[in-house]
Amino acid sequence: MGSVGCAIDASIFPRNGFGKTEAARLMRVGDYFPSRESLHGDIGNDILYQLCESHPLPAACICNDGVSAEELREQEGILAGKMWVIGRSYAASPERYAYVKSGKSKKPPEGSAEGYESFFSDVAAILFEGEPCFRGCGAKEEGGEFWERAKAHASEAKGWFREALDVVHELTSKTYGLRGGSNDVDILKKVADAVTTFGSAIQEARAARDWAIIACNNESENKSDGEEESGEIRVEDQYFPLSFSSKFLHFHLPRLVFIYDSISGDILAPNHRYCYFDGSGQCVSGEVGQFKIDCNHAMGRKVGDDPSRKYFLHASKELALATAISGYFQDQKGNEDVRGAIEKGRIDVDSGIPCYINITRMIDALVTNSKKEKDKNKISHTPVDAFSGRVAWEAEADDILPIKEAESQ
């Protein structure tokens, strides 16, 4: 099967005076770039960035046998804390999940509300150690069918986690050039790999914990074989934690990982060939910053079954927007401090928490705070001098929807 050239073109306008538009304000750039007197308008996110900068993800070797118990417990505690605070801050906590796709799998009851307090510690232990964990359950010594199923999922979780750590470690020294080069697409593919591999690790860890719950409950209640209520725990029945995974890794790799959630995912839906947006209000000048995305193909035939593909297509549109926005930075005179801060990703202060500035969060703010115009007749023509950006790659022909078929969906 042959390959097809795919491209996403993004345009942002008006070029003249874009920095004074509502779109620019949403991105904290141009005249709205934070001043020294107001650096901490986004202190909540700044704290999360600093947390992950101070406590980065470890190298994959931490999962190897021979690592001291003390070091392992420390890393497990750090991971559990970061999952807790990032997940709950962004309403994407991995503890909120369900088995609903097949109608057969059922999340087992934990027996008490304390279970949610132990969730993050249990999952962190499973990811690092590859062994089932549920509140220090003693079913491990007894063995049994349910515990063996838990062990199988725990081993898978550790494998996915190690792979995710390897990719994150490889990406740590990378950055987008934002010039439309193929290197940016190569980096984005690895980012999509990291996001979905980490999400797979979370899925397997949750399944391992659920089977451990079933094993512990059946043992503690001394049920006979005829009374066992095993339910049906299948990883493929879970909703994939794409939102949590992208948000969690964004705070570890803020210059690389674009955020995905239901809002931005709907606005930048994979099957949409065209996307048109306005800013959410006018400035004194009366100008509303606009942007438009044009895909030369709608690349969504198999998206529903592939979280990696869904994330890549979403992030590639945001990367095209980021590439267009980089033209704005280059076009500005006397804005070297702004460009330098974007490249570095933060503004250091004499004391306190740095102000973190990154292009990925700017684009996320632009997308999620904009409105989608459904009537194409109301969309203004793209000016020839608009800031523009392109992301291009090769894809298998079977993955491409014909334009007419895509637009009819």
Q: Which residue has the higher pLDDT, 141 or 257?
A: 257
The mean pLDDT value for 112-134 works out to 86
pLDDT at residue number 178: 92
Residue-averaged pLDDT of the chain: 82
- Tell me the pLDDT band of 227, cut-offs 50, 70 and 90: very low
What value does the CA radius of gyration of the chain take, rounded to a whole number of Å? 23
- Tell me the pLDDT band of 62, cut-offs 50, 70 and 90: confident
- Tell me the pLDDT band of 26, cut-offs 50, 70 and 90: confident
Helical residues (DSSP H) of 221-241, grouped into ranges:
none
CA–CA dist 362, 23 (Å, integer): 10
pLDDT at position 236 over 80: yes
391, 7 Cβ separation under 8 angstroms? yes
- Tell me the pLDDT band of 278, cut-offs 50, 70 and 90: low
pLDDT at position 121 over 50: yes
The percentage of the chain sitting over the pLDDT mark of 70, rounded to a whole number, equals 79
Instruction: Identify the bridge partners of residue 387 per DSSP, sorted by sequence position.
Output: 12
pLDDT at residue number 270: 73
From 185, 372, 186, 392, select the one nearest 265 (Cα to Cα).
372
- Tell me the pLDDT band of 228, cut-offs 50, 70 and 90: very low
Q: Which residue has the higher pLDDT, 409 or 313?
A: 313
CA angle 97, 254, 7 (to 5 degrees): 90
Residue 100's contacts (CB-CB under 8 Å, 6 or more residues apart) are: 237, 239
The mean pLDDT value for 44-69 works out to 89
pLDDT at residue number 161: 97
Q: Which residue has the higher pLDDT, 87 or 307?
A: 87
CA–CA dist 282, 184 (Å, integer): 33
pLDDT at residue number 247: 97
Two structure tokens written together for 302: 């198999």
124, 79 Cβ separation under 8 angstroms? yes
pLDDT at position 242 over 50: yes
pLDDT at position 107 over 80: yes
Out of 89-93, 183-187, 373-377, least confident range: 373-377
The mean pLDDT value for 393-404 works out to 64
CA–CA dist 362, 34 (Å, integer): 13
pLDDT at position 37 over 70: no
pLDDT at residue number 300: 54
Out of 81-90, 148-157, 161-170, 309-318, least confident range: 309-318
- Tell me the pLDDT band of 330, cut-offs 50, 70 and 90: confident
pLDDT at position 35 over 70: no
> Which of 75-84, 271-280, 367-376 tops mean pLDDT?
75-84
From 151, 160, 166, select the one nearest 61 (Cα to Cα).
166
The percentage of the chain sitting over the pLDDT mark of 90, rounded to a whole number, equals 38
Q: Which residue has the higher pLDDT, 62 or 280?
A: 62
Q: What are the distances in angstroms from CA 190 to CA 186, 187, 195, 319, 394? A: 7, 5, 9, 14, 15
pLDDT at position 368 over 80: yes
Per-residue pLDDT of 145-189, as tens digits, reads 889 999 999 999 999 999 999 999 999 999 999 988 889 999 999
CA–CA dist 3, 394 (Å, integer): 6
Out of 127-136, 347-356, 394-403, least confident range: 394-403
Per-residue pLDDT of 126-157, as tens digits, reads 999 999 999 867 666 566 888 999 999 999 99
pLDDT at position 275 over 60: yes
CA–CA dist 141, 294 (Å, integer): 58
Q: What are the distances in angstroms from CA 133 to CA 137, 269, 377, 385, 409? A: 7, 38, 57, 58, 44
385, 9 Cβ separation under 8 angstroms? no
From 133, 147, 154, select the one nearest 228 (Cα to Cα).
147
Per-residue pLDDT of 193-211, as tens digits, reads 999 999 999 999 999 999 9
DSSP of 300-362: -TTGGG-HHHHHHHHHHHHHHHHHHHHHHHHH-SS-HHHHHHHHHTEE--SSS--EE--HHHH
Cβ burial, residue 356 (10 Å; 0-12/13-18/19+): buried
Q: Give the pairing of strands 355-356 and 274-278.
A: unpaired
Q: To the nearest 5 percent, what fractions of the chain are helix, strand and coil? A: 55, 10, 35
pLDDT at residue number 142: 62
